[in-house]
Each structure stands twice: as structure tokens, then as C-alpha cells.
Structure 1
Amino acid sequence: MRIKDLNKWILDQKKKNLMKVSRINISDVINWKIDNQKIFNYNKAFFSIVPFKFIKNNNEAWFQPLILQKEVGILGILKKKIKDVDYYLLQAKVEPGNKSGIQLSPTVQATKSNYLQKHGGKKTNYLNFFIGNKLKIKTISKSRLSEQGTRYLEKSNNNILIDIRKEKIKKIKNYIWVTKENLKYLLKKKNLLNMDTISVLSSSIKKNTLDNPINDFSNLKNTLTYLKKKIKIKKKIISFNDLKNWKIFKDKIVNNKNFFFSILFLKIKTSSREVSQWCQPIVSDYHISLNGFLVKEINKTNHYLLQGVQEAGLSSPKFTSTISVKNFTKKIGNKDIKFLNLFKKKK
């Protein structure tokens, strides 16, 4: 698709996919309840927010809530070849937490509660390609990846890329077929390409024909095993009354030192989702975060410097980018972040 046509389509979708988001008091959140133990949905669906106390094996302790969502979500993208060019089906999706309206999201981006229609609304489009399908399609990649361990407790999603081959589908009005060149263009636009879209596509990357890594899989696995032995975190569910350094106001739950995040409560009205209005809690960061990779060519092969982390919500250590700092703009003045100086250099 020509960039000119893509931009025109995006502008048109921004006008059509409208969402009004209002902050409300906790007492006004319909179908949700907060008690001393958790914030939860009356239908026992979607997610809950639970307060925890965490203790490291060096006796460092901290208190924070985490989102509990035991369901495994689906992040799926459909692919097809048109005149020898690969195209990917994305949707213009508006979410209550988006900074600037729509984002180009995966073909299917849904929790189990959503695609089982616990909200009482419309069905999830194109779901039949990803669940129990008997179509003549090819699964290019399927990876189960964890969500952020600083926000969620052991939450994961299936990242799936499917080639529909000769299967014919009807394109719904807020969906669009884009090429790799279109995706490269969208990556340079702020807050437009959904992170889940990037996650699905990056999970399908194949290694180079000639690849000479200095670490094989066993080395990587040994690093995580070492971290698991070195860093142990005990967790205990507590009450909101015992959530040290946090305070509950009539319309939000906040950390006294502006660490972690705040919990806000919203009322949403929209013309372009499965239901037209609903209420929900939402997690909101205090400051901009930073993620960055250092890349170096070794043995004529690009190598990426990974960081092993054991976050509160992870059951075991995971690899992340070289630098991965939540609320970076707050911590920059009082925390020594390794390799940060390399990201500051303009050369």
C-alpha cells in the first residue's frame, strides 16, 4: 500500500473510531467492586488487582498491587501473499489507555473473557482462524510469551502468525492489509503501531542462514538457572490496609513516592468496540519508561545484549532488553543505570 493511501486510511479511522474516557470515583465503577483484599469484576471475568508484599532473599521488601489475569490471551496476525508480496492484516483499535486514539493492532487481540463474550457484546472478528480451525492454513509461528512482571502476576499471551494461503476472507471496514515496508514506516510514528503487533511479528523472525552466535541455547539457559538460584522472591497476598506506602483516595490508588504506578477508575463510551460502554480500573505509569538494545557485530553476526531479570510477577527469570526501566524519567536522577551513557551519545 502506498504511504499516501495508508495515511489517508489512518486519518479516516481516527475520525470513525471514537472513544470518550472519563475518570470516575471508585464507588461509581459499575460491575466492579473493591474490598480490602482485591479489586474484581462481579462476573469473575477479565482481571482482578490484588495487593502483595514481596521479600527478596537479601531481605529487601516492598509492597505493590499486581494484575491477576489467569487467562492466556490471543495475539494473532493473519498473513497472505498478493502478487508475491507479503501482507499482514491489522486492525485500527481504540483502547481506553491509548495516548492518541487508535493503534494498529493484531488481527485478533483478545483475552479469553473477551472472546467468550463475557462482556455481553459482539463476537471477536477472525477468531475462527486461531481457535479450533479446520481451514487450509499454515501456522508460521506460535510463541507463548509473558506479560510485564512488574504489572501482572504470571500472565502470558499466545503470539501467533498464520498464513491463510488461498483461504478467502471478507475484510472488515476497520482492518487493513499492510506490507513490511508499511510496517517500517509505522514503526517511526509515535504511539501508532501497537506493541502487541510488534510482539507477534518479532516472534516470527527466523535466524539467518549463516549465524555464528557466541552463546548457544544451553549458555542462555544456564544464565537463567543461575539467576533463579541467586535471586529468590517470596510473595504474600495482603490487604489494601497493609499496603505500605500506598493510599486509597475516592477516585484512585497511588504510591506515596510515585513509584510503580497508580490505579485509576474509568467510564468508557465508544462507537467501535464489542460493547458501547463499560467501566473498569486501569494501571497508569507516573513517568515515561525506557527500553533499549545494544547491538554489536561479532563473527559477522549481529548480537544483542540481553539483561536477565526476576520481576515480582514472574515465576522464573526472563531475558529483556539491555536497558528496561519503568518510570525512567523519575529514576534518571537518582539511579545508576548500566550502559545508559551509550544511549546518551549522539554518535
Structure 2
Amino acid sequence: MTSTSAAPVTGHGVLTTIAQFDEWWADRHRAGRFDVTRIPFAELDTWHFDEATGNLGHDSGRFFTVEGLQVEVGGEPVTWQPIINQPEIGLLGIVVKRFGGVLHCLMQAKMEPGNVNTLQLSPTVQATRSNYTQVHRGATTRYLDLFIGPDRGEVLVDVLQSEQGAWFWRKRNRNVVVEITGDVPVNDDYRWLPLHLVRELMRVHNLVNMDARTVLSCMPFAQPDEAVQSRGTSFADALTRSYLSDKALHTTSAALSWFTEAKTMCDWSVRLIPVGEVRNWSRTEHEIADDAGRDFRIIGVRVEAGNREVTAWTQPLLEPRGQGLAIFLTRSIGGVLHVLVQARPEIGLLDLVEMGPTVQLLPGQDPADVDDPFVKGVATGEVGRIRYDTVLSEEGGRFLNALTRYRVVEVGDEFPVDVPPNFCWLTVRQLMDLLRHGHYLNIEARSLLACVHSLW
């Protein structure tokens, strides 16, 4: 990685360069004591299978349950699978503060049991309601008072957003950004990082975690300005105008009408069922898995983590098979970069349909097997110029080694402006305006938007 060119800013717990970050990050790895071990279901403490339903849940009735799900299309049942049901709304929050006029984010080095590399860069607060209300009887959540209660900072962002619709049942988290002006003690696992440095770190494989990415995508500030309009590449100039210009192929009203129609056209019917009634899946001592061995599986783990609110616990995790793929296709239209989104149904979404990436493949799905000829070349890498290509981890608190390759691909005038009815060209500015509200962009699209933010 190259060193950032930002002017040094002094302050307790403030890092301004890649070299400083790397030193702190290595220290956090040395200081941590982390161990994740697979165990049979019988060794899960405080978790049990319900004898009547086969559902897997916590003895407290909190945290989450593993249940079953059935999908009907046109009135006919077509799909069955397990799904994670976590009805409580968690909090994902980043505290920001200006040092020397430069916006900084208070970021955390956080261990999650499902992370492929243990530690990842996380929001200031990343906690379920069960966590921060101390159902686990662990330590209090640091910096929670900056988001909840009379001492919280100035609210810049506060919106409910969805998570993985393929694996979660209608899960939502509160994405919050607050700004403070006073001093706060900075714990060893936290550091103030300038926003531009956080965005630079987005280019490192499996470093900035999913929860940080979704909050970063919702930040409507620190955008490029007219002073950086010309930087020697047409892509950079078109991207800058995509943030600033109101010249879009479609008006926002037209885009919202397109999206509403796409939701009304979805004829899926989805309902929760007992795990014991899920067809073509079986439970053994060690896993719940599909009989064909192609989909994800549910396993159990024992965790030890010296820097967490609870230092040892057991829990189930969802383990995907393979690596996912998410691609934003981009094209300059009238000198303004546009992003091609699709209206994508997913079984676990509250409204069933949200805007997703141009291409979105779950782990185990082969790009060569994409049926739609319109995007097949994009999926296989035969179309366009890659502007961003990084493997990033999904939710490490519920998924084990869940990885997605995120790409931003640029195409030229050879790619059509007229697209199939389930796709729509939108500018970055339009996407960011939509993120003032929940349930427009799915989690993969929000992660990609955070990746786009790292390109200017």
C-alpha cells in the first residue's frame, strides 16, 4: 500500500498515514488472544434444538434462531432452506470528529468468530440489542452513550438498512453516524482515522468489515468538489460529476416508479417453517446441510476472544461454500458516470425486492452458469475494464469465512443505454440520495457504493 499524502494531524489516538495504521494493526494482532474451534451441536452451551420444530435457538430466547423457510412462486412451492431469524434491530455506528478541519472516524479493530483473518476494521459500535443490553452478562459496549441517550453526538445519519436477504429473515440494523466535538478516551482497540484513509483501506482484501462498509456507504458528506473535476482520466472526471451533477439519464421520480413496479411484479410468497420441515436438507451431529452439498451449512463453534465483552462462548454459524461475486457496471452517459443496478428479489428481505448490483452471485454459483445473456459477459470478466477488484468479508458474527469478490467495471459506448426492464442506470448522487431511506439498496450494493467512494 502507498502512503497517504494528507497533512499530519496530531491528537491522542489519531493515525494519519498507512505506516501508522499498519503499526497499530500489527500491535492489535499481537495483543489479541483469539481461537475459533468447530464443535458438534451437542457441545453448544445455552443453545438447543426444539424437539417439536427442530429450530436451533438460544436458551434466553434472544440473539437469533435458525429456522426454516419456504418460497412459493405463482402459488407453487419451489424452494426450502434454513435461514437465520434475528428480529431485534442492532446498532452499527461510527463516531466522527474533525481534527485540523479533517473529518476522522473512530474505528475499531474487532474480532468476529467468522472472520477469515480474525481482526477486521469495524465501526465504533457494532452490537445487537442483546449485546448492548447485556443479555450475555458481559462488559458494557464501549462508546454506546455517544449514540443513545442525552450525551449522544450530533446525528448526521440514522437509517434502518437490510442485511443479506439470502441468509437472514428480514434482518435490519440501525446505521448511525454522529459527530462530536469534545474529547473521548481512546481504547487500545480504537483509533481515529481520516475518512480518506478509511476509504483507501477499502482496497485491502478482507480489512474493512461489512458493518463498517454499510455505514460508510450512507455518509452523504466528504464528496469530491469542482476542484478535482479534471484529473487526467475520463473515468475520474465522470465519477466526480456523478456525485455533483443533477444530469441523470432518469429522474429520481422515474427511477422510483421503476422500482415500485418491479416490487409489484414479484409474485413470490415466503413464510417461515420449522427446520424439521425443510426438504432436501439433513441434520447430523456436526451440521445442517443440503443433501446435494452445494449450498451453505449450519455448524457450531467454540470461541475465545480476550478483547470482547464476553471472553468465551459457543454459537452456531452459517458457512457458505465458495466465494460470492458482486459487480457494479458503470458507464459514462452525457459525461456523467452511471451505475447499472437491478431490481433483485431475495427471499429474506422485508419487501422482497431491493436494488442490487448489476451482477450478484451467491457463494458456489459459477459465473459461467449465468443464464441472462445481457450480463453473462460482465459476470465472466469478458466485458469492460476493471476499476476496483477486492475480496471483502461478509458478516463475521453470523457467517464463517463468507467472502465476496467486489468489482467495479467500466464500459464504453459499445454497451447499450437501453437495458432490460429489471435494470436501471442511476448516478452515484441518486444512489446516495436513496440511502437517506431504508430498503432501497441491498447490502451488496451498499458495499459496492462504499467501494466506489474509494475511487476518487
Short-chain TM bin = over 0.9
Pairing 1:129–2:165 present = no
Q: In the alignment, which residue of structure 1 is the partner of 2:136? A: 119
What is the rounded CA distance, in whole Å, between the counterparts of 1:241 and 1:264 in structure 2? Answer: 16
Q: Which segment drifts farther, 219-228 or 88-97?
A: 219-228
**Contact 1:122 1:275 (C-alpha < 8 Å) held by counterparts:** yes
What is the rounded CA distance, in whole Å, between the counterparts of 1:299 and 1:139 in structure 2? Answer: 36
Q: In the alignment, which residue of structure 2 is the partner of 1:171? A: 186
Instruction: Quote how far apart the aligned CAs of 1:306 are.
Output: 0.6
Which of 143, 151, 155 is residue 171 of structure 2 equivalent to?
A: 155
Change (3 A) 1:140 1:295: same
Aligned CA-pair RMSD: 1.8
Q: Which segment drifts farther, 155-164 or 112-121?
A: 155-164
Pairing 1:30–2:50 present = no
Structure 1 unaligned residues grouped into runs of 5+:
none
- What pairs with 1:91-130 in structure 2 (closer than 5 Å)? 91-130=108-147
TM-score normalised by the chain length of structure 1? 0.94
- The 3-state SS of whatever aligns with 1:114 is helix
Q: In the alignment, which residue of structure 1 is the partner of 2:319? A: 284
What is the rounded CA distance, in whole Å, between the counterparts of 1:254 and 1:235 in structure 2? Answer: 20
Which of 35, 47, 51 is residue 20 of structure 1 equivalent to?
A: 35
What is the rounded CA distance, in whole Å, between the counterparts of 1:335 and 1:209 in structure 2? Answer: 35
Instruction: Quote how far apart the aligned CAs of 1:60 are.
Output: 5.7
What is the rounded CA distance, in whole Å, between the counterparts of 2:245 and 2:56 in structure 1? Answer: 51
Instruction: Quote how far apart the aligned CAs of 1:98 are.
Output: 0.1
User: What do the CA deviations read for 1:314-337 (whole angstroms, capped 9, x no partner)?
Assistant: 12111111111101x543343325
What is the rounded CA distance, in whole Å, between the counterparts of 2:124 and 2:340 in structure 1? Answer: 31
Change (3 A) 1:94 1:228: same
- What pairs with 1:1-347 in structure 2 (closer than 5 Å)? 1-35=16-50, 36-57=53-74, 59=76, 61-135=78-152, 137-164=153-180, 166-206=181-221, 208-316=243-351, 317-327=353-363, 329-337=364-372, 338-342=374-378, 344-345=381-382, 347=385
**Contact 1:55 1:233 (C-alpha < 8 Å) held by counterparts:** yes
Instruction: Quote how far apart the aligned CAs of 1:72 are.
Output: 1.0
- Residue identity in the other structure for 1:72: I
**Contact 1:17 1:102 (C-alpha < 8 Å) held by counterparts:** no
- The 3-state SS of whatever aligns with 1:143 is strand
Change (3 A) 1:111 1:199: same
TM-score normalised by the chain length of structure 2? 0.72
- Residue identity in the other structure for 1:182: L
Instruction: Quote how far apart the aligned CAs of 1:159 are.
Output: 0.9
Instruction: Quote how far apart the aligned CAs of 1:190 are.
Output: 0.9
What is the rounded CA distance, in whole Å, between the counterparts of 1:291 and 1:258 in structure 2? Answer: 23
User: What do the CA deviations read for 1:84-115 (whole angstroms, capped 9, x no partner)?
Assistant: 21111100000000000100000000110000
What is the rounded CA distance, in whole Å, between the counterparts of 2:100 and 2:58 in structure 1? Answer: 48
- The 3-state SS of whatever aligns with 2:248 is coil
- The 3-state SS of whatever aligns with 2:215 is helix
User: What do the CA deviations read for 1:121-165 (whole angstroms, capped 9, x no partner)?
Assistant: 000000011112345x3212222111111111111111111111x
Quote the sequence identity (%): 28
- The 3-state SS of whatever aligns with 1:266 is strand
